[in-house]
Amino acid sequence: MAQNFRRYLNQQIGTSDVDVLGGAVDSFDCLISIRLANIVSTTVNVDVYIKNSTLDYYLIKSVPIISGGSLELIDGGSKIVLQSGDQLYVVSDTASSIDCVVGAVDTISS
């Protein structure tokens, strides 16, 4: 079965939680990369979490990213599996401060 690789781009994420996948997952998906870049002139603190129903599961919480710096959340071949209904959120403590690039494999299970 062929795999569908997806890329999700989000600019200027700030103090409002942003669903960086654009809606609830409708199948089993696999996150293969999450890159966060600080685009402002000060250090910012970032949260990334998966929302499953009404519960939040943090991948990182209040992690600082220096000005001009970036953070790769998935490296070394690790992956994160999402189930139907999961959502991936990013939020910063500073307005319009984070760009986010997510790589995923869509529909890994039939």
pTM: 0.91
Count the alpha carbons within 13 Å of 22 in the hemisphere toward its beta carbon: 9
Q: What angle do CA 63, 64, 69 make, to 5 degrees?
A: 125
CB 59 within 8 A of CB 80: yes
pLDDT digits (tens, 9 = 90+) for 60-79: 999 999 999 999 998 878 89
What are the pLDDT digits (tens) for 6-59? Answer: 899 999 999 999 999 988 778 788 999 999 999 999 999 999 999 998 899 999
Domains of the chain: 4-106 (2.60.120.340)
H helices of the chain, where?
none
